[in-house]
Structure 1
Amino acid sequence: MSRPRFPVSDHCDGEHFHNPAMAGDAGQPEPARGLMPILRWRFGGTRVRWPEHVTDPPPAGDPGTAPPPGGIALTFIGHSSFLLRLGGLTILTDPIFSQRCSPVQWLGPQRARPPGRRFEDLPRIDLVLVSHNHYDHLDLASLRAVVRRDDPAFITPLGNRHLLAKAGAASITELDWWQQHTLRDAVVTATPARHFSARTPFDRNAALWSGFMIEHQGLRVLFAGDSGDGPHWLEIHQRLGAPDLALLPIGAYDPRNLMAPVHMDPEEAAGAHRALQARRSVGIHFGTFQLTDEPIDEPPRRLAAALLAQGIDRDAFTTLGFGETREFGG
């Protein structure tokens, strides 16, 4: 009998990963669906067509300016790509600067917006967090550019090392859920997410997916990665404490019968903010690549309505303009 590649756990059989079961489902790592529902969705004509190109106003703030002591500076590049600066540490999350999130640049989802900031205009990167291996989160061309210029450290869930090495990364740390790694006095913990992984038809769930809690100089920042809703938000709060800032996905949610197990909608994101007891939250994973059916501008509008309905201060959960740099705390 061959030795398992990964630790056997409630979310891994030693070779493949899955989402632990929760009340009301069987813990599927992705929607329980066959080929026909996918084909009916993709060719059924229900998708609201996004504009081919959106021109945003010049972004506010300066990504090169460090936050004050005890503060956090956050720059929205687009989709799930953010520049995060806290306590002298500069972090890039799921960087994608390419025109398409695809294995090829002549086919696949194309940007409706350019990156809010050009990579060459960003300060030196100390750490890159890669939440999982989907093409809209792990883009080899973008990773190669970061490695060439800055040679940062990388942290990613189990099973993704070979992809980061392919991009030229030298310092790679793989983590299972709840495992930690320390870099410059910052403690990074891989946190659970309800999602799945694949880059080809042959590697389904052969690598893990996660979020990350960064704890540094008394601050906690949660980058949630890509996730459906579930009890893991409350568990993250119970085990790691309330984030000072949580980056939570709010887009790519329609149709719900297919997307609910792997992508939150804005109402669920508002509930996740409450479960985490986050001091502030910022919406991510919207308005850049059309992956699902909802209109390009719907996620922030639905988020605002959800906050009102759930009695959450609108300033407590917001979105940034594309390219905007904003300070939190301090």
Structure 2
Amino acid sequence: MKRRRLLRLASAVTVMTLGGVGYAAHRRSANPYYRGPVSDHFDGTRFLSPGQPQDKGLGELARWQLGGGRESWPAQVPSPFAPDMPPERVDGLRVVHIGHASLLIQVAGRNILIDPVYAKRASPVGFAGPKRVNPPGLAFGSLPPIDAVLITHNHYDHLDGPTLARLWAEHQPLFVAPLGNDAIIRSYDATIAVESRDWGESVDLGGGVTAHLVPAYHWSARGVNDRRMALWCAYVLTTPHGTLYHVGDTGYGDGAIFRAVPERFGPVRLATLPIGAYEPRWFMQAQHVNPEEAVRIAGDVGAAQALGHHWGTFRLTNEGVGEPAAALAAALEAAALPADRFLALRPGQVWTG
């Protein structure tokens, strides 16, 4: 009985926290976040990735949770980089890794946060769930004036409601999010200004910078009964300093969504791509790329430079804390690419170009 209760608790926290664990045991219910017309990726209640696997079964979830093979992490994994102190504005292009999937992009005089998470746990509860093993590489109090916040999807390791409310209170930025996520964000502060968009739509961020929402192979949930009721996305930023491509979470699938990026937007100057939370592959492959697949995405979009995130801060899946960086190095060597073409970012690490 105790083991069963622990499994239920672990499963509930996991499915609400981690991209890649959307199981199919949800009840049919009305969508609390979004109402809109049926499309090729919305059935009137739930969103989907056309042609891609959707939810895992509860039996598969239990098989993963009870199957062993999970590498232990140290309680603390300090970054070799000191916390960043960014300039107030940058005319060119500067990126700093805050931790996990959180980035500050400074480009063309605009300051843009992507998926900012400052919580100690990536979890719906404060007493359980993945805990940070390193502090943010950019302290909240050291943020420059924030002009825009981009949210890729609503999992707790990407959408940190209290942090978003604090950003609104202190910076009053423009929030951009895929359909349905506006309702979730405003549940933390009803006054937050959110521009909610579908795949293929865009938002002007000012300064010649435009955010374009494009597909990702993923899913969404904040609880156990709202599976895929809010949309997820990747972003293309067209800027005076080149095209940037950011993915929060995705599987590789057939690769079509990645090859479509340069077809629509031209050459990509910088791709920021996830490289962690990918084991076991039989469970994670449809929603989380591994480093080898991330290298393939960088090639698909023709990225001149790639930066890896979504690793080394929250233990979400089975791989060890350093495995994504080692696997990325091996994938680059196998592809005959220089090691500096795709960097596995650590918190506080800065890239300028």
Aligned ranges 1:1-330 → 2 under 5 Å: 5-21=35-51, 27-30=52-55, 33-59=56-82, 62-64=85-87, 66-67=89-90, 69=91, 71-168=92-189, 170-184=192-206, 185-229=208-252, 230-328=255-353
Deviations 1:291-326 (CA, angstroms, capped at 9, x unpaired): 100010010111111011112232221122311222
In structure 2, stretches of 5+ residues that fail to align are 1-29
**How far is 1:61 from its partner?**
5.6
Counterpart CA distance in 2 for 1:96 and 1:215 is: 24
Deviations 1:202-260 (CA, angstroms, capped at 9, x unpaired): 11100100011111214211111111113211012211222211110100000000000
**How far is 1:6 from its partner?**
2.4
8 Å CA contact 1:74–1:84 kept in 2: the answer is yes
In structure 1, stretches of 5+ residues that fail to align are 22-26
The residue type paired with residue 149 of structure 1 is E
Deviations 1:125-151 (CA, angstroms, capped at 9, x unpaired): 100000000000001111112111101
8 Å CA contact 1:250–1:283 kept in 2: the answer is yes
SS of equivalent residue, structure 2 residue 118: coil
**How far is 1:170 from its partner?**
2.7
Counterpart CA distance in 2 for 1:151 and 1:222 is: 25
Q: Measured at CA, do residues 223 and 42 of structure 1 come closer, stay the same or move farther in structure 2, by a change above 3 Å? A: same
RMSD: 1.8
The residue type paired with residue 220 of structure 1 is T
Deviations 1:255-291 (CA, angstroms, capped at 9, x unpaired): 0000000000000000000000011110011011111
The residue type paired with residue 214 of structure 2 is T
Deviations 1:69-110 (CA, angstroms, capped at 9, x unpaired): 4x3100100011001000000000101011001111111111
Counterpart CA distance in 1 for 2:291 and 2:160 is: 26
Which sits farther off after the overlay, 184-193 or 310-319?
Answer: 310-319
Counterpart CA distance in 2 for 1:161 and 1:60 is: 31
8 Å CA contact 1:64–1:122 kept in 2: the answer is no
Which sits farther off after the overlay, 205-214 or 52-61?
Answer: 52-61
Counterpart CA distance in 1 for 2:134 and 2:37 is: 40
TM-score by length of 1: 0.92
SS of equivalent residue, structure 1 residue 235: helix
The residue type paired with residue 35 of structure 2 is R
Counterpart CA distance in 2 for 1:318 and 1:165 is: 35
SS of equivalent residue, structure 1 residue 128: strand
Counterpart CA distance in 1 for 2:239 and 2:176 is: 16
Q: Measured at CA, do residues 65 and 147 of structure 1 come closer, stay the same or move farther in structure 2, by a change above 3 Å? A: closer
Which sits farther off after the overlay, 104-113 or 125-134?
Answer: 104-113
Q: Which residue of 1 aligns with 2:18?
A: none
8 Å CA contact 1:29–1:194 kept in 2: the answer is no
**How far is 1:8 from its partner?**
2.3
**How far is 1:187 from its partner?**
1.3
Q: Which residue of 1 aligns with 2:25?
A: none
Counterpart CA distance in 1 for 2:188 and 2:337 is: 42
Q: 4+ runs of 1 displaced by more than 3 Å?
A: none
Identity %: 38
Equivalent residue pairs, number: 318
Counterpart CA distance in 2 for 1:302 and 1:116 is: 23
Counterpart CA distance in 1 for 2:242 and 2:115 is: 21
